[in-house]
Amino acid sequence: MPAPPAGDGKRVLLAAPRGYCAGVDRAVVTVEKALELYGPPVYVRKEIVHNKHVVRTLEKRGAIFVDQTQEVPEGARVIFSAHGVSPAVHAEAAALQLQTIDATCPLVTKVHREAIRFASEHYTILLVGHTGHEEVEGTAGEAPDNTIVVESPAHAAEVEVPDPERLAWLSQTTLSVDETMQTVAVLRARFPHLQDPPSDDICYATQNRQVAVKQMAADCDLMIVVGSQNSSNSKRLVEVALEYGSRDGHLVDYADEIDESWMDGVRTVGVTSGASVPEVLVREVLDWLAARGYEDVSAVTAAQESLLFSLPTEIRRDLKAAGRQDAKLRHDPGSVPVAADHDSLR
């Protein structure tokens, strides 16, 4: 339990872990290394990760983000985002003779393989997730005729299935753990033969960040989550904070988006960030708070993370061919502009 505030009572509880997960780290480094190896432009299908600042930073370095595969010139190089793509997208790329680099998070790839296996065994897959989210589109695309997206416990209560005895559930990796299990509980009550995935689909980083927020929330008058509006896991952190006792909670991309009125009567501020957020943006929020008297910062640690994923095969191959035995996988924080540069990225 965090210590009570001292002095004027203003304090910050800083969640750990927060920010980049291994899959995001891998994806961002993939684009950085591609720009170094091949030079700009390097095309990226969709946002490489769901963070406005990261995308704009990479755009400044020569990455071109497109919504559709057909926007990439024939024969060009394209990177698939961390959220994964369907077989149909791979087919589109092949038809255009694109040089592809797949930066799909390995944990998302795991869910794709589970979908393929369940479909091959003639199960209907109930995919818990948000319709239209890129990850859900990619997973459902592995078995489109066998997949039904289930968005909530209420949806689970009314979803219709072709065969109640041949059902399995999978989930988007960035959901609220609690709501996902509530949805699954409703499904299981209706369909007792429902099969579980072979291992947990919600990623370790999403879970760890939610656990930290749960530990902090009841002690917070205000929870500030650094992250973008299109980031599912960031939005879930605000929801979890409010559900577990924080009096108020907001999602911001930058420190200057914090509304001064949010601070009225606030003694304890919780701070965390989504899994696609560079630490420099969190530090700016802490500086903003410190300038207003919130200088007492205490960490709330829910877990230790050390996982790293190897870079995509294509990048490792070409680094080796270039004589660069570059094993560095972590994103270089120095490549992210500091506060003074942010206006040029907006």
Q: Of 150, 221, 234, 135, give the one whose Cα is nearest residue 190.
A: 150
Cα dihedral value 186, 191, 193, 195, nearest 10? -50
Rounded CA separation 343/339 (Å): 8
Residue with tokens 């879970």: 207
The Cα–Cα gap between 52 and 43 comes to 17
Q: Which helix (H) or strand (E) holds 269?
A: strand 268-273
Say how far apart CA 28 and CA 82 lie, in whole Å: 9
Q: Look up tokens 């650094």; give the residue.
A: 226
Take residue 344 and report the two structure tokens written for it.
Answer: 């040029």
The residue from 135, 142, 284, 314 that is catalytic is 135
Tokens for 92, please give them.
């589109």
Which ranges constitute the DSSP H helices of 121-167? 134-140, 153-156
User: Closest Cα partner for 20 from 202, 300, 209, 178?
Assistant: 209
Give the count of beta carbons closer than 10 Å to the beta carbon of residue 141: 18
- Tell me which residue has tokens 């490792």: 316
Residue 263 is given by DSSP the state G
Other CB atoms within 10 A of residue 173 CB: 28
CB neighbour list of residue 119: distance below 8 Å, 6 or more residues apart: 125, 142, 143, 145, 146, 147
Contact present, 177 and 170 (Cβ < 8 Å): no
Does 71 participate in catalysis according to the annotation? no
CB burial string 270-279: b at 16+ within 10 A, e below: bbbbbbbbbe
Would you name the residues annotated as active-site residues? 135
